[in-house]
Structure formats: structure tokens, C-alpha cells
A and B are shown apart, each in its own frame.
Chain A
């Protein structure tokens, strides 16, 4: 019943927004960046961008981690993403990408390093992000499975429902549809999840006593009795160097490097009315993103001390299912529905945006650029919609068959690191095609080598794949080409943009706002 209400909410919202916005989609530009609106204003840009990097990694994996030794320290992930990654994207990276005047990322790297690199970028980007969508589909599926009380089996039905909703999120009106849905869902995300925390606290006050202490004091008493009081603060691990090397810095760097060159994450910036509209919502976006993770971790920490919740799921499933199980045991039905809507807002928006970005790259940067250069705009629009379905089906296949999801998710992120360094080097320092390809080759050899051979000889932290790929990509993709300089007469891209604006460029770039 709760599940049905939550799903009906999404169906009405998604189909409603789809039908309203579909009329305004006449061209491919309308579908992928809402060109018919003349550009998105700052509130749309902010709400859409906040929800894109905020998915299952920001909710489910955090409550799972909070049950481990990290405790509330899991919220440092949300700070690394919300308060470091988000402002850097909105203030620096988004405006930088916009300044080129192009509408897709592989177009920018193609203009730097040639057609081959553009195709490679589009292919790596679309394929690596399928891992993220698979994780979102599984995450949404787990929520549907648990809140149905097990009546809807996880595979295939719960995951299939998630798949259908993720595709509907963008299928009719494309970016414009997603922007409208995300405005509503940004509010629902915060309201629903914090309302659930209040519901849990009210339940504790009535039903929970530990060593004579009731409510939240009882929870604190439980953690004190287990000598785990530090888990009830997100900052108790901040002084430990390993917290920075293992969590904060890699999470921030991984997001920054992989997602700077991700089409899905840059869609709101390409669709913005002006660069001012990209920057304006930076505080709202940072705080919303960083706070959105708090309720999940709090409910996870509270529920871990409540026997009624812990005993309701199998011990090996506890980490994954604790929040949905807590909702069923502790919350009144309307609040469980709100929590469910909040969780689905987080996961579906991420899956929808990345599917749209990947379908756009498959159509525009691979099929049109490499195979059918004369494709009409109408055909491109149809092809993009077909790619949404095809790409979604590939991700669905992964979600239904992969035995582990989170490691795949991080691994997929990592594949974009070498491309990031080529992009930044070409933008600011030098366009050196030879070293660009050398750095890609070394980067991917290290990525695969470290993953499958797990070298023990590498010094900490470079025995970790992410750190190793970051190091070699930085050295060979940025440091060496910056020292050697450009091959031939090619100037760094940023300089060409400036000259293009001043009318002195040898290659004219499209007009940039």
C-alpha cells in the first residue's frame, strides 16, 4: 500500500511533467538542453545539479558504512561531495565547459585532440557510467523490495520497476522534464527524509529504553555501553590522517576528476541561461547536497541500537536494509511513504540524468559524428530517444546480473580520470596529442593491473587503484605535457577561446555566452 502510493506519486509527477514539457520538445537541442526555453534560470540549474551526483552512493552506501567503524564519519563523504565537489563544479568547472560554446563534452575534447579522441571520450564516458546507473537501479530496487515487505522480488521485478521509472524520468521532455521533476523532488528529498528522522525520534520516546535511559538518550547509552560513542559524531575521525587519505581526499578527487568530464553531470550547465545562472545557487546546492545524506545516516545509527529493527532482517543483509527495515518497524505509514519518495528522488534523478547524457553522447558524438554525418535534426531526436531505451536496457542487464555493485560503481568512476587530465592540460597548458594518448594507455594499464593483480609492493596509499591511476594520469597526462609544451603550433584551448572572442583565432569556436 505504502509502496503503491509512493509509486503513484512518481508516476503522476513524471508523466505529468512529461506531457507538459513534451510539447516544447521540437529539436534535439530542446530534448538535451531545453533550448526552447532560451536557457534555464538559476533555480532550475541548482535543483537539477544538486540531485544528479546525489544517488545511492549518497544514501544507501552511507547508511551501510555508518554501521561499520566509521559511524557518523560516513557523513564526511557528503561533505566532500556537497561542500567541496559541488562548489568547485558550479564556480569553476561548469563555467569553464560553457566557455567553449560546445554542448557536449566529447565535442570539446574532439576540438582539442581530434575526432578519434572525441569518439573515445564518448565511448568511455557512456560505458563507464552504465555502472553508476546499474547501482542506482539496484538501490531503487532494494527500497521497493523491502518496503513491499518482500512481496515484490528484487530481481527482476523491483529492479524492472526502477528501470521503467528511470527511463520515464527523461523520455518525454528530456532535460526540461527532468528539471521540473527535480525542482519538486529536491524539496521532497529534504522534507521526506528529515520528517522520517522526526518520526523515528517520536517512536523512540514512546518505545525505547536502554539501561533506564529513554529515547535518544537511550541510543547514546547503548553506544556508550559498547564503547562506540565516537560513532555518534561525524567529526570524531577528522583528526585521523587515514580518514583523509582513505575517504575525504579520494572521494572529492574521484568526483572532481570523473564528473568534470561527465556529460550527464554537466547537462544543467550546458542548459543554463548564462554563466551567472550556473554560479548563483552555489550555497543552496552545497548545503542541500551535504545535508541530504544526514537523515539516512542518523536513521541507520539509531536503528542499529533498536532490537526490533536489527532482529527483523538477516544479519548479513542488515547493512543494506537497515533504513527500510527501520521505516517499517518504527514509522507510521504516511511517513514511510514520504521516506520512500525521498529515497527514490535521490536514485531516479541520478539514473535519469546519466541516461540522458549517455544517450546524447552515443547519438551526437558517435553515431552522428562517425557514421551518419548528414543526419537530420529530426532523425537525431528519434535516435537519441532510441538510445535512451537501448542504453537503459544495457544498464538493466548489468543490474540484473552483476553480483557486486558498489566496487563496480567506483571502478567505473575511475575510468574517467585519465580523460580529465588530458582535458585540463589541453585547456590550460598544452595540446600534446602524443602524450595525451600515452597517458591514457598508462592510466588504463594501471587501472586494470591494480584491479586484477592488486600489487602489494606499491607504497600506501598508491596500492589503492584510485590513488595509483590519479598519480600516473597526473604525471603523464598533465605534468609531462605541460613541461614539454604543445606539439606544433597548437595553443592551449583557453587561449584559443580568448583569441576567438577577440576575433583573432585561427580556428573559430562557436559563440560562447
Chain B
């Protein structure tokens, strides 16, 4: 139980942090995609 929580907790925390920083990038670079697909 605790082992699963550690693994999932770390995974979700990493995704959330990366998403937040990526959102800051997207907001400061308008018109460009969140996943880098539309980036030129």
C-alpha cells in the first residue's frame, strides 16, 4: 500500500510540476502548442 502510494505520488507530482512549468512557457509564448507539436 505505502509502496504504491510512493510510486504513484512521485509520478503525479512530477507530471503536475512539469505541466505547470510548461503552462508558464505556453502563456509566455502565445500561439504555440502545449506538447511542442505546433512549435516552429
Which residues from A are CB-within-8-Å of B39?
275-276, 279-280
Give 1 or 0 for each of B1-40: 1 = CB within 8 Å of chain A CB.
1110111011101111111011001000000000110011
Q: Which residue of the partner chain B has the closest CB to A201?
A: B3
Residues of A within 8 A of B16 (CB): 83
Instruction: Output the residue of A82, A91, A275 with the most chain B CB within 10 A.
Output: A91
User: How large, as a class, is the contact surface on chain A?
Assistant: 35 or more
Q: Give the CA-CA distance A91 to B20 in the complex, in Å.
A: 12
Residues of B within 8 A of A216 (CB): 1-3
**Chain A nearest Cβ from B38, distance in angstroms:** 9
Q: Contact: A291 with B2, CB < 8 Å?
A: no
If the complex has contacts A216-B1, A216-B3, A233-B5, are A283 and B15 also in contact, measured as CB distance less than 8 A?
A: yes
Nearest chain A CB to B8's CB is how many angstroms away?
10
Enumerate A68-123 residues with CB–CB distance to B below 8 Å.
72, 75, 78-79, 82-84, 86-88, 91-92
Other-chain contact of B13, A79, A91, A298 (Cβ < 8 Å)? A79
User: Are B36 and A280 touching (Cβ within 8 A)?
Assistant: yes
Q: List 28 A-B contacts (CB under 8 A).
A: A72-B6, A78-B10, A83-B18, A87-B18, A91-B21, A92-B25, A216-B1, A220-B2, A232-B6, A276-B40, A279-B25, A280-B35, A280-B36, A282-B18, A282-B36, A283-B19, A283-B22, A286-B18, A287-B14, A287-B18, A290-B13, A291-B7, A291-B10, A291-B11, A294-B7, A294-B10, A298-B3, A298-B7
A127 located at the interface, meaning its Cβ lies under 8 Å from any Cβ of chain B in the complex: no
Chain B residues in contact with chain A, CB under 8 A? Answer: 1-3, 5-7, 9-11, 13-19, 21-22, 25, 35-36, 39-40
Let me know if A234 and B6 touch, CB within 8 A.
yes
Report the number of A-B residue pairs with Cβ-Cβ less than 8 Å.
89
CB of A410 within 8 Å of the partner chain: no
Is there a chain B Cβ closer than 8 Å to A437's Cβ? no
A235 within 8 A of B: yes
CB A53 to nearest CB in B, in angstroms, measures 14
In the bound complex, how far is the Cα of B5 from the Cα of A83, in angstroms? 18
Known: A234-B9, A279-B36, A280-B36. A79 touches B14 (CB 8 A): yes
B2 x A83 contact (CB < 8 A): no
A291 to B1, CA, bound (A): 18
B7 touches A286 (CB 8 A): no
Residues of B within 8 A of A83 (CB): 13-18, 21
Measured between beta carbons, the chain B residues less than 8 angstroms from A289 are: 14
A235-B9 contact given A276-B36, A287-B14, A291-B14, CB 8 Å threshold: yes
- Beta-carbon contact of A233 and B15 below 8 Å: no
Among A91, A220, A280, A286, contact of B17 (Cβ-Cβ < 8 Å): A286
Cβ of B25 to closest chain A Cβ, rounded Å: 4
**Cβ 8 A contact of A75, one of B1, B10, B15:** B10
Indicate with 1 or 0, residue by residue over A255-283, a CB within 8 angstroms of chain B CB atoms. Answer: 00000000000000000000110011011
- Which chain A positions have C-beta within 8 A of B40? 276
